[in-house]
Structure formats: C-alpha cells, structure tokens
Structure 1
Amino acid sequence: MAIQTQERRAAEEPQTPADPPTAPDEAVLAVERKRARRRQSSKNWSLFLLFAGPNILLILAFIYYPLISNMYYSTLDWRLGSPRATSVGLDNYIRFFTSPSGVEVWRVTGIFTAGAVIGSMVLGLLIALVLNKKLPGRTIARTAVFSPYVLSGVGIALVWNFIFDPARGALSHILGFFGIASPEWYLNEDWALLMVIIVYVWANLGYCAVVFLAGLQSIPQDLIEAATIDRAGPIRRFFSITLPLLTPTVFFLLVTNIIFSMTRAFDILRTMTPTGHGTNTIIFEIYLQSFGAYQRAGYSAAIAVVLFFTLFVITAVQLRFVERKVHYQ
C-alpha cells in the first residue's frame, strides 16, 4: 500500500523539462558559410575556365599577342625578310603623319569611307522601304539584294572589271549608245576612286537593306496608322515617326559600316587597282608598304597601329556622342 502511494505521488509530481540542446556557436557557423562560399566560388571558376579558357587562350594568341608584337615592330626600321632590324622609336609614325604620301592616304581614306558609308546606308534605306511593302515577289527581291554581300570580294571585283573596261566593258557600250565617251577608270585617280566606291556600295548594299528592313518591321504599325488617320503624308510620317524609331538601326549601321569600309574593302581595292593608283586607303597602304615594292614592314606596322587607334577613337566618339541621339523606346 505504501509502495502504491509513493508511485502515485511520483506520478503526480510535475516533470522538470530536460535541458534544451545547445545552439551551435555563431563563429562556427560563420566559418562554415565562408567555406561553402569558397567551394561555390571555386566551382564557378572551374566551370568558367573549362568553357571559356580555350576561347581566352585563342583570343590572347591570335589577337592580343599579334597586336602587341605589331606595336613593337612599328618602332623598327625593318624590311620584310631581312634578318636585321634597327630601332627607330617613333620615326615611322612621324613619317606617316608628316609625309605627303601619308596625307594622301588620309584624304583617300576619308573620301572612300564617306562615299561608301553614306551611299550604302542611303540606298539601303530606300531599298528597305520598298521591300517592306507587300509587293509580289518581294522574297525573291530580298534574296537578290542581299546576295552580293555574301559573295567573294575578288569575284565581285573581277566581274566589275569587265563592266568598267573602257574599251570592251558593258558600261562603255551603254555610255556610247548615248554618245558619251567612257572615262579612263583605271588611269585617272579620281575616276578610279569613284569606281571602287561604286563597287563597294553595290557589294555592301544588301547588308544595309536587310538590317534596315528588320528595323522597319519592328516599328509598331499602330503609330503609322494613327498618323495616316491624322492625314500625315508619307514624307511627314517618315521623318516624324519612321526615321526617329530607326535611330538604333542607323547608329548600329553607322558604326559597323565605318569599321567595315576601313578594314574589309581590301579585296576589292587589290583586285581592281593592284598598284593603288588613287585608291590607296589606309588598309591598302598597309599592304603596299609591307608586301608591295617597298617591303617596309616596320613602317607598315606603324600604319596598322594608327588604323587600330583610329577605329578605336571613332567608335568611342560615336558611343559617347552619337548614341545620345538614339531613341530606344
């Protein structure tokens, strides 16, 4: 009986809760978090190097290393193939900026770039406006307009050589039909420069037209329809709505066309005017000085460095000032 009474009393007595488990120390948690972040960062860097490492190595090997090497060669008086070279410092740069031939190169480059860029963009925009309309056969027309851009520059130049031939060319026969004598395209420096500008514009026309066409198709038609309802004519609609909304496309084409005209016109220039008679733009002058009759590799390297920084400055100025005029919305 006494035993049962004691058990009953023990059961009725309140149970004291057990001590709660001690929380981990904050310092230990901080160390663990740092280790987890370090492991995650190491994993991210490993994946980055795995996927981007080969590309970075190729860029360093084929872009930056040649660029730095070319800067070094530009300080040398070195003829191509010669085992010896003499350091001349900045003499090659001074000669290029002060010699009459250097001034002529800048003049020709400016005229060619202005004519090529303005001609390609203006004609490309006009063609894009036509191709943007619902006309029969516009798909075939778009293909025909763009196809010259993907053709070889050498092939384009060879075909146009037959067209511009003063004696047997197609253009001379057309001009002769109207009683006009064909100009000496290859002998006169001014006509030769105009000739290569025409060919380059024709080859680059499709690129500008297709890019402008993409920009035109991204313009909301509600704005055009609203302006039409308000009795705005085609010219006013173009300058008040279409052209402002095309400014991102215009800006993109302006940057790319300037770079292309100064760097990618070599094949046409070399094929149509092998000696650079009146067509020695800066990219063609690099070739003539290095691989032509002069074979001045050091001087040619200096011109190449000047071209690099010229394009860098032009692009930076366009991004800094011209982009302010762009309407992205």
Structure 2
Amino acid sequence: MKQPLAVAGYILGGALAGAALLHFASGPSAPDADDAPKKEAAEPTEADGALHVDAAKIGLQLATLPATTISAGQQGYARAIDLSPLAAIGAEITAAQAAVAASGAEAARLNDLAAQDGNASRREAQAASAQAASDKARLTLACQRVALEFGAGLARLGCNAIPGLAREAAAGQRAVIRIDMPAGPPPAGAMVEVGEGAQMKRLRVLGPAVGGDAQLQTAGVLAIADGTASVGRVLPARMGAAAGQAGVLVPRAALVRSDGALFVYRARGKDGFERIALTGAVAGDAGWAVPVGALHVGDRIVVEGAGTLLGLEHAAPAGGDD
C-alpha cells in the first residue's frame, strides 16, 4: 500500500517543479493596455505673445469676422448735477489751505528757535507741529470729499481746481454734466455730444461719476460744459464713430470681459490665440461693431470657448525653466 502512495507523491512533486520552471523561464509578463502609462495632454503654452492650445481638444469654435458699416454710436442721456455741495467743499478746501500755510510757517519758526537758542520751548514747537499736521489732515479730507461725493472723474481735476470750479459754476460760467450710456460708460478722454441743434456741445469725459443710475442701472461719467445748464434737465447724449466708418461685426458670444474691458481671442498661426482689446466698439442688436484697426475683415475669432481661453491664460505660468 505504501509503494503506490510514494509513486503518486513523486509524480505530483515533478509536476509542480515543472510548472515552476516554466514560470521563471517565461520572464516577466507584459503590462496590460490599461496598466500602460498614459500620455497626458500638453498644457497650454504662451509663446511669442500668443496662447497655444489644441482647439479641438478644449472645444473651441471659430468664426470669420464679416464687414460692417458703423453708422451710429452709443446713445444715452445727460443731465447737469447740483453743485451746491461742491461750493461747500470748495470753501472748506480754501480754509484748510490757509490754515495749513499758517500753521506750517508757525511750526517751522518755533522749531528753528528751539533748535538755535532756546527762545522757544520744545513743548511749544511740538504743539505747533501737531497743529500743522492736523490742518494737513483737514485739507486731505476736504480734497477726498470731491471723489466721495461726486466721483473720481471730478477729483482728477485736482484739489486746487475745485474752489475755482465752484465759483465759475455759481457765476453761470461752468456746469458739471453726468452722462449715462446703457451700453457702458465711455472711457476717460472720449468725446460725447450732448444736447440738440444749436445747443449741442461736444464734451470730453473726465472719468467715473459716483453711484449708478437708479432706473437704467448704469455707471455714469462726468464732463464739464461751458455756460449754464438746468439742474436735472435730461438731454440726449451720443458717442461713437463717424457715419460710414468701416468696421467688423463681432458676435456677442465672442466677448470676454477682463479688468473692466472687452476682449476677443483671434486665431494666430496653427494653434495660437491672442487676446485683442475692443476699442471704439458700438453695441447693436446683431453684435458689436468695431472700427477696423486691431481687428480686420476675415480675421478668425473664437465664438465658443473664449472664457476657457481666458481662464487658461490667467492660469498659465509666467515662464522660465523648471
């Protein structure tokens, strides 16, 4: 009985040894397709001022810019604002400037005396310096009230110009006009036509006004007009390119907003995209009419996925070797 069991044991042991030899002889098995390392998509790169990406991979769609004629600019309205508070601010500025001059001179005199021969005590000199600093703070606050109560546009005239502007307004020689455009505030320096007929005036925009219009929810701008203007009276305002100016029509879907300005992405080369700012653009029902300049008829721009490009551009590294 023991002999057949021994023979069976020898046979089983031989089979196991053979299997082990076959395993080691075959070498390491090849990795499965799922285990193979995957090639990652190339990250966007910025070269020669353009953003280089695979347009198909991120789902960009492009369109060719058609020609258009810019026949009308932005339409809005304007009204003169009440300058009674500005007169009070102007008087405060004048008084503060006089106080600063007087206290500054007194502080300088007492400090010189205290340093030279002791004819003035150090305490008197310090008190005079403190008064001079207090007067300067009052003047700074008076100047800041212009921006806080009227807007940064009027503050750009400078603190020294405010008392004179208030006097001219009281004499009927100047008026401050607030201009609101539904399509967006005109930039500083832009020319806007206000009024109609013989009363029409061309005004240069100073900058932003304080607050927004309660009805249109627009951000207004300020300009200065010569002569008188009835406070609260609404006048038509127009801004834009001259009639018949050549332009291109940009679809609304192509627009992206960054840092308070409008941009589009234009295709450049095989896989490059550059961000182009829109200047002098006029909003319309079919899109934005842009004067020919930075953009031209036939340019290919991104009409779907521009927001993705903006995000990639902001996330792209500044450059340099790792």
Q: Which range, TM-score by smaller chain? A: under 0.3
TM-score, reference length from structure 2: 0.21
Query: Which has more radius of gyration?
Result: 2
TM-score, reference length from structure 1: 0.20
Q: By percentage of residues, which structure has more strand?
A: 2
Q: By percentage of residues, which structure has more helix?
A: 1
